[in-house]
Structure 1
């Protein structure tokens, strides 16, 4: 038995041991036609929802209500939408945009834009740059078996931004790499925290968004059709988390997740041939 076969069998064995729970998304509303590619969401201080779109779209953050009716939009100064992939906030109300989409694993200009709370009332708020690189990445792009450095999910916790990479490896390994960077302006080498095996299906097990519950007890990692709920962890080590897999029973391109409260998620999908451009609610047990 060669090494590659052994690795594949180990991954499949782990996948078979993981129980999957079937759930149903509750549709809330449909985004306006100009928001076809919502890639990140976060709850605003007033209970509305901040959203962004990914590459090819405007350098703007939009606020919508639960009916997806647009309330305002902010043009972010000093922030270019190379590939905005997720939103998060801290307990002080500062908003963070993850410009770290990296489909080909070739970028050397990864950045998180921090919009201070006091800037959010302006029409064109200024953003601070948190620039970073992955210490494990030596080639741009790396070989196909090392395509770990696309990113679409992160969240804020205790003065750090925690990053979960999107796996594009071939053959597919089912792992996401976990990093963190400080939440302050600067240039950083991201701190590598370890790897997390999610599952072995390359169509459903790569992270497209992330968030942590308000009480800090549950992490939600969204993928195409699944949500992975992580519990029983002690930050910054998430590698030994208990993982519950929820099958969302959808074939649309779900790209955004955020917690409303400790037991409720909002999820959004992009528009594609299967539908999409919707906002959903998911109640957790």
Structure 2
């Protein structure tokens, strides 16, 4: 179902606010990681999982909060076409979003499930969820997703209007469903990562210099609740976000070649 947001746009603006968010730098990401493209805590609160971007190894890395690599797992049966984001479920399974599409020519997209990630030694295999786009959606670039009520919500990366798709968390091949389209107010609003709190009450959408905090929504009507823009105190190539707990997030830099790549925390 596509939700027509135009009639309520004025109403929503009344609940949109802005504040500044001071990031706390807690670590510097290991230089062996060329591109830390995601962040996810899955079961073990002391490990932040990450992946590298297109063309890099088909490995998942666990970092401590100082940015040191403490886990390195080879996913033997899949290829890193363009891995972009991570999410997880409450059973300790980690999911890789292989849906990057800079050329906007891809027709098939993948989500890889790694079962019981904290019990894996050095290598494992992944189960595959494949999806294609509905007829009314052209090939887009995706860089962010999260899992809610056993559905993956996947966001296109756009400057203005972006789309939200959903795909069931079921092994096999699916046609994605278009949930809605939306336009966050402001400039440079390309979403690089997304996450939802464990209590399912808060969604965060990451950008290089800010995040958008969504609350008081019902079901998957994410943009019909309160929308708050939190501007950071600096700009860097931030590509990963996850919740540490219901009120605090972890944010990671991807290598920009210009500065140190850090791990940050932020109290919402």
Same structural fold, with TM-score higher than 0.5 when normalized by the shorter chain? yes
Contact 2:17 / 2:227 at 8 angstroms: preserved in 1? no
Aligned pairs, number? 257
1:131 and 2:122 equivalent? Answer: no
How far is 1:157 from its partner? 1.3
Tell me the equivalent position of 2:233.
249
Partner of 1:67: helix, strand, or coil? coil
Match of 1:183 in 2: 169
1 CA distance for matches of 2:65 and 2:143?
A: 23
C-alpha contact 1:177 1:195 (8 A) present in aligned 2: yes
How far 1:77 moved relative to its partner? 2.1
Work out whether residues 146 and 196 of structure 2, in 8 Å CA contact, stay in contact via their aligned partners in 1: yes
Task: Say if 1:120 and 1:135 are closer, same or farther in 2 by CA, change over 3 A.
Answer: farther
CA offsets, 1:215-259, max 9 Å, x none?
Answer: 110000001211000111112222313210011122211110000
Match of 1:150 in 2: 141
CA separation of 1:92/1:185 partners in 2, compared to 1, >3 Å: closer, same or farther?
same
2-side partners of 1:272 and 1:154: how far apart?
Answer: 22
**Counterparts in 2 of 1:1-285, with a 5 A limit?**
18-47=16-45, 48-117=47-116, 120-136=119-135, 149-167=140-158, 172=159, 174-201=160-187, 204-284=188-268
1:139–1:260 distance in 2 versus 1, CA, 3 Å: closer
Is the CA contact 1:252–1:274 (under 8 Å) kept in the aligned structure 2? no
User: Gaps spanning 5+ residues in structure 2: where?
Assistant: 1-8
Residues 15 and 58 of structure 1, relative CA distance in 2, 3 Å threshold: farther
C-alpha change, 1:211 and 1:75, in structure 2 (3 Å) is same
Would you say the 8 A contact 1:270–1:276 is kept in 2?
Answer: no
Q: Is the 8 A contact 1:77 1:126 kept in 2?
A: yes
In the superposition, relative to structure 1, how do residues 191 and 120 fare at CA in structure 2: closer, same or farther (>3 Å)? farther
> Which 10-residue stretch deviates more, 59-68 or 127-136?
127-136
Deviating runs (4+, > 4 A) in structure 1? 14-18, 136-140
**TM-score, normalized by length of structure 2?**
0.89
Cα distance in 1 for partners of 2:15, 2:137 equals: 34
Asked whether the equivalents of residues 110 and 132 of structure 1 are also in contact (C-alpha less than 8 Å), the reply is yes
CA separation of 1:114/1:228 partners in 2, compared to 1, >3 Å: closer, same or farther?
Answer: same
Q: TM-score, normalised by structure 1?
A: 0.84
> Greater relative contact order (Cα 8 A, min sep 6): structure 1 or 2?
2
Could you tell me which runs of 5 or more consecutive residues in structure 1 were left unpaired when the two chains were aligned. Answer: 1-10, 141-148
- Indicate the SS of the match to 2:195: strand
